[in-house]
Structure formats: C-alpha cells, structure tokens
Amino acid sequence: MDFHRHGAHKFPKAGLFASSAGRQWNGVAAELRSHPAGDLPAIVPTQMEITLAVRRSPNAHVSRKGAGIRQRTPVESGTIWLCPVGVGEDDINISAPLDEILHIYLPAERFDHLAALYGDARIRADAVRYLAGVEDPLLVQIGLSIHQELIRESSAGRMMVEAAALALTARIAQAYGHDRPETRARPATDAASPDRINRAVAFIRDNLERDLSVAEIAAVACLSPFHFTRMFKRVTGKTPYAFVSEERLKRARRLLTERKISLIDVALSSGFSSQGSFNTAFKRAVGRTPGEYRQHYS
C-alpha cells in the first residue's frame, strides 16, 4: 500500500516539510505538511488517517463532510481529526493557511491484527467514527512522538514509530469505534515469556547494525507485536525502542575507542543510516560528538 500516493492525491497543493517515504517504516506512514486555504478533492480513503495540528493556525477552520456528517473545527495546537477507512469526504475546505499539520496513516490490517489478538471481530478499521476536534492527550502524545522522529531521525527510530503505531491503533479501536468492545480479560501471560524475551534480546544484540522492526523481533519471540511490546517492557523495564537505542549507543561508544574504525563505519555498524544522524543522536545522548568522544577516551 502506497500511503504517500494517497497524501499526494488528497493534498495536491500542500507543502511537504517531512515524509516517512524511504524510512522503511512497517505498517505506518507519516507526512508533515502545510496547507493553503481552499478546497480539497473528494476522496475515499483505504487506510486510517489521523491528522494532528502540531501548531495553532490563528483564525483558521477546517470544514468537512463525510458519511453525511458536517463538521467545522478551529485549528488549535493538538486538534485531531479521524478519517476512517471507507468514509468518503466530498466537501473539505480550509479557511486560512495551516502550518505544521501531521498526517499519520495506518493500514486496515493493523486493526485486523488487534481483533485477532483479542478475539473481537468488532475491532475494525471501518468501525472507527468520523470525528473532528478530538481532545485526547494520549493521541496527541503518540502523534508528537512520531512527529519528532519524522523531523529528526534517531537511533532505533523505526522501532519507536512502529511501537507508537501499535499504541495508536489500540487507542483508536478502544475509544473511537462504533461498537466499543466489552471489557475483556487480558490475554493470559505466557509463563515462557521471559525466555522468549531473552531470545529477542540476544537477537537484537546480534543484529544491531540492521534496520530492525518490532514485527521481526516479535516473530523471534513467537509473540504478536502487541503482546511482545507489553511483555518486553515487563521483563526488561524498557520499551523495545529504548532498549535498541541504548544497545546501539553502547556499541558505538565501544567502537569509538578503536582508532582503526572510521566514524562512518562506527555509525553504520551501530545501526545508523548516516553519519549525520549518528552525530546528532550520539551528542544528544552522550553530550559529546563522536569525534570529541573518541579524542577524549582514546
């Protein structure tokens, strides 16, 4: 599924500040856009779209109509719009220019996996309500974490985004479905889960230079991504993203003490896509650039 083609079609006149195209994110995509005033073309989405206003746009309103529902919403920082799968929007108008609007796209399969995990067929992407002006601090927090990674790539950022997408899917299904599932007991904890998480930890440490995904590591542990992320933190005390990021920085610090290894090779061996992103993430975490660290500790 080409999420970015959807964005280009729906927002033909919008500016594009940042995009997840080329980031190899699995099962989630995001775009940071600016929008001029005017009308948008009619569209029927085939994926779940979550839109978040990162910044307030004074005197701006978004008017839209979908599934026969008319909405008019002021654009404040943290304003959220939900556009579910299959809801045709045939009348969208932006009254004034908008800055820093984040669009997050989730495939319908995300909701299918959640439904399979909890055994509830009512959890569907097309069961989410068509809503505007949603006030949900949790959705805002998740959206801003994806926004931060989108504009500034970090170590293990792909894993963080994929874990955030899982949380985003669960929150939307739980809070904004037409038929909210009845409260159910959580799936029973697998007594072998610590051993499974230990296998995942060993796999991570053996593959730090690779572009790891939550789904791949969960498969090593023989757990669903939803169950894996919850169990991983229970066993290790860290999210998968935080653990991978920490392990990559540990490897980088060790490699930097070896003079024969170039800085770009240290970056690639530690799982960074470029020396620039490595420099930024390393200094943010350690307080020194990789070159300064090497000079000080060697």
Task: Return the higher-pLDDT residue of 20 and 1.
Answer: 20
Longest distance between any two alpha carbons in the chain, whole Å: 67
Residue 83 is predicted with a pLDDT of: 92
Same domain, 224 and 272: no
Residue 138 is predicted with a pLDDT of: 95
Same domain, 34 and 147: yes
Residues in the chain: 298
- Closest of 159, 169, 192 to residue 85, by C-alpha: 169
Q: What is the CATH number of the domain that holds 202?
A: 1.10.10
User: Above 80 in pLDDT, residue 185?
Assistant: no
pLDDT band of residue 186 (cuts 50, 70, 90) is very low
Residue 98 is predicted with a pLDDT of: 96
Residue 181 placed within a domain: no
User: Above 60 in pLDDT, residue 184?
Assistant: no
Determine the Cα angle at 293 with ends 272 and 291, to 5°. Answer: 65
Give the structural domain span for 140: 3-174
Residue 50 placed within a domain: yes
- Closest of 143, 136, 166 to residue 226, by C-alpha: 166
Sheet holding 61-66, edge to edge: 38-40, 89-94, 61-66, 69-74
Residue 184 placed within a domain: no
Residue 182 placed within a domain: no
pLDDT band of residue 143 (cuts 50, 70, 90) is very high
The residues, any chain, with a CB within 8 Å of residue 36's CB and separated by 6 or more, are 13, 14, 94, 97
Strands 98-107 and 29-35: antiparallel
Same domain, 42 and 74: yes
Same domain, 215 and 261: no
Query: What distance in Å separates the CA atoms of residue 28 and residue 47, rounded to the nearest whole number?
Result: 10
pLDDT average, residue stretch 45-53: 93
Same domain, 107 and 230: no
pLDDT average, residue stretch 158-186: 76
Q: Taking a C-beta distance cutoff of 8 angstroms, is the pair 50, 82 a contact?
A: yes
Residue 2 is predicted with a pLDDT of: 66
3-class state of residue 178 by DSSP: coil
Task: Return the higher-pLDDT residue of 274 and 236.
Answer: 236
Residue 113 is predicted with a pLDDT of: 82
Residue 181 is predicted with a pLDDT of: 40
pLDDT digits (tens, 9 = 90+) for 193-251: 688 899 999 999 999 888 888 888 988 888 777 778 888 888 999 888 889 988 888 88
Query: What distance in Å separates the CA atoms of residue 39 and residue 189, rounded to the nearest whole number?
Result: 50
Residue 178 is predicted with a pLDDT of: 65
Same domain, 283 and 150: no
